[in-house]
Amino acid sequence: MSKARLTFLGTGTSQGVPMIGCGCDVCRSRDSRDKRLRASAFVEYEGMQILIDAGPDFRQQMLRASISHLDAILLTHNHKDHTGGLDDIRAFNYLEKRASEIYCEKYVEDSLRLEYSYAFAEKKYPGAPEWHVHNIDENPFTIESGGPYEILSWEPGKGYIHTMAGENDPVRTARIIPIRGMHYKLPVLGYRFGDIAYCTDMNHIPEEEFSKLEGLEHFVINCVKYGKHISHYSLEEAVEVAQRIGARHSWLTHLSHQLPTYNELASELPEGILPAYDGLVIE
């Protein structure tokens, strides 16, 4: 098993930091670590390039991190701050001449079919996103890259023509372990890649899932503020969960402006736990 490498593309809550119209100290901070796009991560694992969530800042995140290829997109749940950028996958479709591979729960696919109905239409508008959706749950699954695939050939005025290729291409695989969590009453998924686990938008992890989080080098967990929140871990709860799991390093993501600036927050956290920030790389 190869070592995983994770880049934080966004570490902010659903409204990002700074928040529109807000003049608080955090939103006015000049520290680049306090400029937070919506939560997303880029994982390099087993020779593959994997995206976790594609929110409204997807385009900006891809350009900022110079990402030009994705083998798979894993969705944690169906909220707009995690799926709102999926239309911009069209750029990868056009340049790589391939549909994008999306892994998500069935209820998330059902939501995408409503919000992006044009991407699932029998007769597509030319240039609509091209997706292959794979349904997953909390059981481990395998991502494959290589082997037979459809080539998308653009024909002006008609859209993509689908033909098969790659029958002799070598196949690479990566085994992913999903982590079941609850986002208030909504089931969501975190993901483990080797010795890195990424869990966002949760305020509860069922007892039976903790065995999947043993022996981690890095653990990523969400929190939005001090004190109880209806659907996210509070800072106090996130610290408690991180200490129970006992990874060598724990990182806080999905942070809001209701928490202090990066330096202030880092100074009050226990040893081994730090706020993540956009652009941070862990491995």
Residue 249: the pLDDT is 98
For residue 200, give the nearest of 244, 153, 232, 154 by alpha carbon. 232
* Confidence bin at 25 (pLDDT 50/70/90): very high
What is the pLDDT averaged over residues 265-281?
Answer: 98
Got the DSSP string for 50-112? EEE---TTHHHHHHHTT----SEEE-S---HHHHTTGGGGHHHHHHHTS-EEEEE-HHHHHHH
**How confident is the model over 159-171, as pLDDT tens digits?**
899 998 877 788 8
Least confident of 24-33, 142-151, 244-253: 142-151
Residue 54: the pLDDT is 98
Residue 1: the pLDDT is 58
Q: What is the spatial distance between Cα 223 and Cα 1, in angstroms, rounded to a whole number?
A: 30
- Buried/exposed 100-115: b ≥16 CB within 10 Å, e otherwise: bbbbbbeebbebbeee
**How confident is the model over 68-126, as pLDDT tens digits?**
999 999 999 999 999 999 999 999 999 999 999 999 999 999 999 999 999 999 988 99
Structure tokens, 147: 């082997």
Q: Is the pLDDT of residue 157 over 90?
A: no
**How confident is the model over 31-53, as pLDDT tens digits?**
999 999 999 999 999 999 999 99
**How confident is the model over 213-235, as pLDDT tens digits?**
999 999 999 999 999 999 999 99
Asked if residue 89 lies in contact with residue 59, where contact means CB atoms within 8 angstroms, the answer is no
* Confidence bin at 10 (pLDDT 50/70/90): very high
Q: Is the pLDDT of residue 269 over 70?
A: yes
List Cβ<8 Å contacts ≥24 apart for 163-171: 170/146, 171/144, 171/145, 171/146, 171/147
